[in-house]
Amino acid sequence: MPRSLLVFAFLGLFACQPRATQPPQARASSSIDTAPALPARVAPGVRVGTDPGHAGRGTPLTAQPGHELAAFAEGCFWGSENTFRHVKGVVATAVGYTGGHTKDPTYQSVCTHTTGHAETVLVEFEPSQVSYEKLLNVFWETHDPTTKDRQGPDVGDQYRSAIFTFSDAQLRAARASLENEQKRHKRPITTEITPAPAFYKAEDYHQQYDEKTGTESCPLPLREDTASG
């Protein structure tokens, strides 16, 4: 890794609260309902792109013909992006900031918890290979949607759970999925569901962070309804 990248990554680690870099914890199965089937993983050697929707700094997003976009916030975006990059049918991902009220946010400004932006992974996918509903399953299975503005040790509104939709069909699917997911939790789900606002691509050192560093960051929390046994 270039020395400059190491320096930026090091600074990024301390711009907000420290983040874990150990492998994800095993997810406990729900005592209320069985988990939905997850999509297949990307085959070894298959390259996933890094330019979903030609993402920029608040510029319009446009997926490639035959593809669609999806956006999810579920805590630290390093681990979230790594998760979706392993889903078969996902063709590109990037991380960034969205859902807030300020223009052109930076990592440092988002860390002040005054911008309203959430750390978000933007996904471009091929519907013939993976459905939006299956991506929603991945979203629910890889974080705890009942802890408001928090995932594990990461606390603040930038770590909130949110689904940002790109069509009326996605909005309906997300709401139906949340209603079904609530049956698997004792605590209320706090996930926000809103049409996707402007997306601001994050700094380069955040992009594909786990692949660059060879780590698996942000361990998955156990469900609140199963953590106590």
Q: What is the pLDDT of residues 18-50, one digit of tens each?
A: 444 333 333 333 333 445 667 877 766 678 999
Res 3: pLDDT: 40
| Residue at 28 is within a domain | no
pLDDT, the chain, mean: 83
Question: Is residue 223 in a domain?
Answer: no
Please name the residue ranges forming H helices in the chain. 3-15, 77-84, 107-110, 132-141, 168-182, 209-213
Q: Residue 200: inside a domain, yes or no?
A: yes
Residue 211 covered by a domain: yes
- 103 is in which domain, residue-wise? 68-215
Distance CA(80)–CA(50), nearest Å, equals 14
110 belongs to a structural domain: yes
What is the per-residue pLDDT across 45-78, written as a single tens digit (0 to 9) for each? 678 999 999 999 999 999 999 999 999 999 999 9
- Specify the pLDDT at position 9: 41
Within a domain: residue 195? yes
Instruction: Please report the sign of the dihedral spanned by the C-alpha atoms of residue 152, residue 58, residue 176, residue 130.
Output: negative
Structural domain count of the chain = 1
Q: Region 3-17: what's the mean pLDDT?
A: 42
Question: At residue 106, does pLDDT exceed 60?
Answer: yes
Rounded Cα distance, 19 and 76, in Å: 8
Across residues 79-98, what is the average pLDDT? 96
List, for residues 170-187, the tens digit of each pLDDT value. Answer: 999 999 999 999 999 999
As annotated, the active-site residues are: 76
Output the pLDDT for position 72: 98
User: What 8-state DSSP symbol labels residue 156?
Assistant: S
pLDDT at res. 85: 94
CATH number of the domain residue 177 falls in: 3.30.1060.10
pLDDT at position 16: 63
What's the pLDDT at 45? Answer: 62
In a domain, 229, yes or no: no
Digit-coded pLDDT (tens) for 157-166: 999 999 999 9
Evaluate if residue 80 carries a pLDDT over 50.
yes
Of 92, 75, 168, 166, give the one whose Cα is nearest residue 130: 92
The pLDDT assigned to 167 comes to 97
**Structural domain includes residue 121:** yes
